[in-house]
Structures are given as structure tokens and as C-alpha cells.
């Protein structure tokens, strides 16, 4: 039998990793909205606890890109009502 030259073998592990990233990475980024909302009431301090800041720290360098910063502001502050506490954590 001839080996197929056009097919690329992709391991099951790679497919599983790509699937998990495709699902959980957007969920991680989108979870900033509910967290911003939850911290913007009278029962919480003005800033997130240190442990939660560490969770969202990987998003901080993205805030240097202007359109990402504006989109993040719109999502957390306008849509979720997380201003000022939730938005100012990053």
C-alpha cells in the first residue's frame, strides 16, 4: 500500500491540547467580566485580593495594546459594571 503523502499525522495529545486551549483560554479571558462585577459592590474592597490578582496577571501585558485595552474596558466596565474596582485591578 502507498503511504499518503498529503496527510499529516497529528497526535491525539496535540489535538486534546488544542481543544482545551480553544475552550478554556476564551473562558479565562471572559471570566474577568464577572470578577470585575463581583468586586464592584459595597461588600468588597476596591481591589481584588492578591490571589485573584495573580490569576489575572498574565492579561496585564495585553493592556499595553490600545485596542485590547479599550475592548477590556468596555467588557469589564461597561458590560459588567466593574468600574472602578474591577477594571483598575489590571
- Angle (CA) 29 49 69, round 5°: 35
- Asked if the structure places residue 77 within a domain, the reply is yes
Total domains, the chain: 1
Question: Is residue 67 one of the residues assigned to a domain?
Answer: yes
The verdict on residue 64 lying in a domain is yes
CA distances (Å), 83 to each of 3, 20, 35, 72, 78, in order?
A: 59, 31, 11, 11, 8
The verdict on residue 45 lying in a domain is yes
For the chain (90 residues), the mean pLDDT of every run of 10, in chain order, is 67 91 92 79 59 80 89 85 57
Residue 36, domain extent: 32-89
What digits encode the pLDDT tens for the residues 57-72? Answer: 888 888 889 998 888 8
Position 11 in a domain:
no
Q: Is there a domain that residue 68 lies in?
A: yes
Q: What are 3's three cell numbers?
A: 503511504
The pTM is what? 0.66
Amino acid at each position: 500500500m502507498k503511504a499518503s503523502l498529503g496527510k499529516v499525522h497529528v497526535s491525539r495529545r496535540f489535538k486534546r491540547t488544542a481543544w482545551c486551549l480553544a475552550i478554556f483560554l476564551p473562558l479565562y479571558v471572559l471570566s474577568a467580566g464577572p470578577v470585575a462585577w463581583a468586586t464592584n459592590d459595597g461588600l468588597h474592597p476596591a481591589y481584588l485580593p492578591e490571589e485573584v490578582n495573580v490569576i489575572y496577571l498574565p492579561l496585564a501585558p495585553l493592556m499595553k495594546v490600545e485596542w485590547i485595552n479599550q475592548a477590556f474596558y468596555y467588557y469589564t466596565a461597561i458590560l459588567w459594571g466593574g468600574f472602578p474596582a474591577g477594571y483598575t485591578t489590571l
